[in-house]
């Protein structure tokens, strides 16, 4: 049995008042079973004020998560808010940990941390919730998925890269037991009778425009050439602004990332010289579909996937991460919290949930052979159903 609850506080000046509010809500909503863990999201100001540290240290279970821009739970939505999603169970158990700095040798650092936390476990790991830091200049989001896939190849991954409320993403922190960091990755390992399911809200493919382009030179998330022409010239010639801040493309990968030709959204977020920088990996040989990132498509695709969750049985709780790039589009039409409100209004009242904005979403998708594969996403909203 798994029970969940979502709690919150707007109290940013008085740490004791914030903790009291969280504890009062927990007492009203949930009875702790043998194994309990929490996912936290908050505006970076809660770190500066000391409220985050005080709240996390005052709770009788481990709490880990990220900073973000805006959040929603069953009772509230907002920007200047701290939320915690609590999971408790007798037949599911959790192990939490955090890596050392991942500025160098990502795989070895993650492997060492995982082995330390999981050393005494005899049961197979069912689900890893991971919260990578925002180090875009060093690692694309796919790097984290590759590392974990190599360390625990049979394990499903779900999580988010840290985000914040700035355009520069310079206040992004990960959180572990009340401590914040910009270069370490906290995680929650889930064992036992957990039954995770996953949904992804992307953008409708029929709103896109095909391009007669194939990547002819790339490395990880850097595209050097398309059709043997420098990437900047190709994309700007196709209508991408030279000062691009965020531009979504549906990409069909090739090679070992193709996974049955299931397409994935990649965010073109900058040019550097003649190259194009993406939020995730783009293989050589990949082809593109431009997508229209209008506010109505963003709202419609999320609402459609949430409505699917309402048709499922045995739902104990939901965790949702929506890409910060989707919020940027909504911000441009003064609807920056529209997705949060859709979640609050659409999810069944009896299902506890947490939603926040993401620097990149990590969520399995099913290939055309019916197999779930861990994937990194841009411009998407990822939903964990437990």
Mark which of 238, 265, 290 sits at the end of a domain.
290
Query: What are the C-alpha distances in Å from 263 to residues 183, 249, 253, 266, 368?
Result: 30, 10, 7, 10, 11
Q: Are residues 271 and 337 in the same domain?
A: no
Q: Are residues 155 and 217 in the same domain?
A: no
Mark which of 267, 290, 313 sits at the end of a domain.
290
Q: Which domain holds residue 211?
A: 205-290
Structural domain includes residue 55: yes
Residue 105 neighbours by CB under 8 Å, 6+ apart: none
The whole-number pLDDT of residue 46 equals 97
pLDDT along the chain (386 residues), means of 10: 97 97 98 98 96 98 97 95 98 98 93 96 96 85 94 96 84 96 97 96 71 87 94 91 82 60 80 91 87 85 94 95 90 84 94 96 87 92 97
Structural domain includes residue 244: yes
Helix (H) or strand (E) holding 118: helix 106-118
Mark which of 254, 269, 290 sits at the end of a domain.
290
The whole-number pLDDT of residue 254 equals 66
The whole-number pLDDT of residue 76 equals 94
Structural domain includes residue 332: yes
The whole-number pLDDT of residue 96 equals 98
Range list of H helices, 44-100: 45-48, 51-57
User: Is the separation of the CB atoms in 374 and 362 below 8 Å?
Assistant: yes
Residue 348 neighbours by CB under 8 Å, 6+ apart: 310, 315
Q: Are residues 136 and 223 in the same domain?
A: no
Q: Are residues 229 and 317 in the same domain?
A: no
The number of domains in the chain is: 2
The whole-number pLDDT of residue 329 equals 84
Structural domain includes residue 257: yes
Report the alpha-carbon distance of residue 258 to residue 340 in Å, rounded.
32
């Amino acid at each position: 049995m798994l029970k969940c609850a979502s709690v919150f506080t707007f109290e940013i000046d008085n740490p004791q008042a914030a903790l009291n509010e969280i504890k009062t809500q927990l007492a009203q909503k949930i009875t702790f079973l043998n194994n309990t863990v929490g996912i936290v999201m908050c505006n970076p100001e809660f770190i500066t004020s000391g409220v985050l540290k005080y709240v996390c240290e005052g709770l009788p279970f481990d709490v880990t998560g990220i900073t973000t821009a805006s959040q929603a739970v069953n009772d509230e939505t907002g920007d200047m808010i701290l939320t915690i999603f609590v999971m408790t169970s007798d037949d599911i158990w959790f192990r939490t940990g955090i890596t050392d700095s991942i500025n160098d040798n990502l795989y070895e650092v993650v492997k060492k941390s995982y082995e330390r936390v999981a050393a005494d476990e005899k049961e197979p790991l069912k689900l890893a919730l991971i919260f990578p830091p925002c180090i875009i200049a060093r690692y694309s989001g796919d790097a984290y998925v590759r590392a974990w896939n190599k360390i625990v190849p049979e394990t499903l991954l779900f999580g988010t890269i840290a985000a914040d409320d700035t355009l520069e993403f310079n206040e992004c922190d990960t959180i572990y037991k009340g401590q914040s960091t910009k270069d370490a990755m906290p995680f929650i390992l889930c064992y036992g009778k957990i039954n995770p399911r996953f949904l992804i809200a992307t953008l409708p493919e029929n709103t896109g425009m095909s391009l007669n382009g194939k990547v002819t030179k790339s490395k990880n998330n850097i595209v050097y050439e398309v059709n043997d022409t420098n990437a900047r010239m190709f994309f700007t010639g196709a209508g991408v602004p030279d000062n691009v801040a965020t531009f979504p493309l549906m990409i069909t990968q090739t090679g070992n990332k193709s996974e049955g030709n299931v397409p994935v959204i990649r965010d073109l977020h900058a040019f550097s010289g003649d190259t194009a920088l993406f939020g995730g990996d783009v293989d050589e040989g990949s082809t593109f579909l431009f997508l229209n990132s209008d506010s109505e498509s963003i709202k419609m695709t999320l609402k459609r996937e949430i409505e699917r969750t309402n048709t499922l049985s045995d739902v104990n709780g939901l965790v949702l991460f929506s890409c910060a790039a989707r919020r940027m589009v909504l911000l441009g039409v003064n609807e920056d919290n529209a997705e949060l409100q859709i979640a609050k209004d659409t999810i069944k009242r009896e299902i506890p949930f947490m939603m926040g904005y993401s620097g990149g979403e990590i969520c399995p998708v099913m290939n055309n052979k019916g197999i779930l594969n861990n994937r990194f996403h841009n411009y998407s909203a990822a939903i964990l159903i437990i």
